[in-house]
Structures are given as C-alpha cells and as structure tokens.
C-alpha cells in the first residue's frame, strides 16, 4: 500500500494512492512531477481524482489521461473547469479496483468540491487547509462553505489525518495567532511547521481533532461568524 503526499510548485500538493496494481493520482496538476512520483513508486495510475477542478489541481489531467489511459473522476459541479469522465455527484462510496474511497461532498470553495477519505486520511483539497480554509473568490460561496463546515466536516472522525491541497499553514497560523495570542495549540503548530521548513522536511499532517484547536473556521460558532472570519482572512 502506498500513500504519498508530494509538494510541487511552491505550496501545491498532489497525492498518490495505491493498493497492489490499483493506483490513483489526486490533483496531479503538474504532469511531469506526477509521472515521476508514480514511476518511483512503480505503479501505473488508472485513475485521476479531483478534489475540485481549479486549474492548479486539474490542469494536468487532460495530458495525464492521454498518457496513462486513465479515467478522470471528479464532481460534475466543477465541469465548467474540467468535465470528469466519472461524476461524483451523489456518490459517497467510490470503488476503484482495490481502492475504496469515501466521498464527502463539500461545496463552498467551488460547487463541486469533495473531501476524499482513504484509510484514515482525509484529502481536503482547498476546502480545509491546515489552520484555515479555502477562499471563495473563484466560483465559490462562503455561505455554502460555512454550511459544509457545520454539516459535513463537524461530523467526521476526529482521528482522520488532514491532507490539504496546499500548504498555507504558516500564513494561516499568523492570522490565527494575531487573533488568538493565547492559543497554545496554534503556537505549538506554528513552531512545528517553521521547524519543518527550516529542516527542509514536510510538516506532519494534523488530525481533525487537533485542527479544531488551531483552526478557527472549525469553531466559528455559526455561519454568519464563519463568513465574517473568511472575509477578515481575505482582507489580511
Ligand atoms: Zn482551488
């Protein structure tokens, strides 16, 4: 079994999931990097999964589909950016050979955003970041994102590891600590991500239960407060 989170460009993450001969790439926007990650792992991905279809997530998928003969799987709500071969609208359990992926529709950052759950990991795309959430400036809706946090994310297992589509942890934590200078969990996480960067290694994934302590969007206390927090984060 393979689970790999791989940084590309500055802060983007793509993912490789594999079980035996069944492998899937998630948000492989850079085809060269994605093919190298797959080659090093000795797998031939048959599926390309989109957490959502913004070009910095789905922009490599047409070429990868052609090169790999892979099927593109994503939510049709984002078809304006990339129409999927297989539509996740209404799908909660996805069977890709031996890969069994739970799908949680999570509209807000985009209409077709989904969270993908696989073996204790939650691939959150641009819906939930470490210590923050996605903005809604490119086809999104903060009120829908607030509802997703309230009705979808709050009901998930707190032990799930959070694996986002970007690493914005430092900038998000500066925002958190400016508002909550006494937040020890946030201060500890800030020190840990800075130490990882200084050492040239990837930050550890958080668990959802830890995110609740450091991430104000997970405890906004209502949709109106969530939307206001998102507006403040956009301004800062
Ligand atoms: Zn996005």
Residue 126: the pLDDT is 98
* Contacts of 220 by beta carbon, 8 Å cutoff, 6+ apart: 146, 149, 226, 229
30 catalytic? Reply is no
Is this prediction's pTM over 0.85? Answer: yes
Residue 136: pLDDT above 90? yes
Q: Binning pLDDT at 50, 70 and 90, where does residue 236 land? A: confident
Candidate list 30, 78, 126, 167, residue with the active-site label: 126
Q: Where are the domains of the chain?
A: 2-235
pLDDT digits (tens, 9 = 90+) for 175-202: 999 999 999 999 999 999 999 999 999 9
22 catalytic? Reply is no
104 catalytic? Reply is no
177 closest CA partner among 158, 161, 193, 154: 193
CATH (residue range 2-235): 3.60.15.10
The whole-angstrom separation of Cα 171 and Cα 66 is 37
The whole-angstrom separation of Cα 62 and Cα 58 is 8
Residue 92: pLDDT above 80? yes
Candidate list 50, 57, 75, 163, residue with the active-site label: 57
pLDDT digits (tens, 9 = 90+) for 1-24: 999 999 999 999 999 999 999 999
57 catalytic? Reply is yes
Candidate list 11, 22, 56, 141, residue with the active-site label: 56
Kindly list the protein residues that place their beta carbon closer than 5 angstroms to ligand 1, a single-atom ion: 54, 126
Residue 231: the pLDDT is 97
109 catalytic? Reply is yes
Task: Report CA(36)–ligand 1 centroid distance (Å).
Answer: 23
Task: Report CA(165)–ligand 1 centroid distance (Å).
Answer: 8
pLDDT digits (tens, 9 = 90+) for 223-233: 999 999 999 99
52 catalytic? Reply is yes
Share of the chain above pLDDT 90, in %: 100
Residue 73: pLDDT above 90? yes
Candidate list 6, 50, 163, 166, residue with the active-site label: 166
The whole-angstrom separation of Cα 129 and Cα 230 is 13
The whole-angstrom separation of Cα 83 and Cα 123 is 20
Task: Report CA(20)–ligand 1 centroid distance (Å).
Answer: 30
Residue 213: the pLDDT is 98
Task: Report CA(218)–ligand 1 centroid distance (Å).
Answer: 19
Task: Report CA(209)–ligand 1 centroid distance (Å).
Answer: 24
100 catalytic? Reply is no
Task: Report CA(98)–ligand 1 centroid distance (Å).
Answer: 28
Mean pLDDT value across the chain: 98
pLDDT digits (tens, 9 = 90+) for 210-225: 999 999 999 999 999 9
Share of the chain above pLDDT 70, in %: 100
């Amino acid at each position: 079994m393979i689970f790999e989170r791989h940084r590309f460009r500055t802060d983007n993450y793509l993912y490789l999931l594999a079980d035996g001969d069944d492998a899937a790439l998630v948000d492989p926007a850079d085809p060269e990097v994605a093919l190298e990650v797959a080659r090093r792992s000795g797998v031939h991905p048959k599926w390309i999964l989109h957490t959502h279809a913004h070009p910095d997530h789905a922009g490599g998928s047409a070429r990868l589909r052609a090169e790999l003969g892979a099927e593109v799987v994503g939510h049709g709500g984002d078809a304006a950016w990339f129409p999927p071969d297989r539509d996740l609208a209404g799908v909660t359990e996805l069977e890709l050979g031996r890969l069994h992926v739970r799908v949680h529709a999570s509209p807000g950052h985009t209409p077709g955003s989904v969270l993908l759950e696989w073996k204790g990991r939650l691939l959150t795309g641009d819906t939930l970041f470490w210590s923050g959430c996605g903005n809604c400036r490119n086809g999104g809706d903060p009120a829908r994102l607030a509802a997703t946090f309230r009705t979808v994310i709050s009901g998930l297992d707190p032990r799930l590891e959070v694996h986002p589509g970007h690493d914005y942890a430092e900038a998000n934590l500066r925002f958190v600590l400016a508002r909550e200078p006494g937040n020890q969990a946030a201060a500890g996480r800030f020190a840990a991500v800075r130490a990882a960067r200084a050492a040239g290694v990837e930050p550890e994934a958080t668990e959802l239960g830890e995110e609740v302590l450091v991430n104000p969007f997970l405890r906004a206390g209502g949709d109106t407060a969530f939307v206001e927090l998102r507006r403040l984060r956009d301004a800062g």
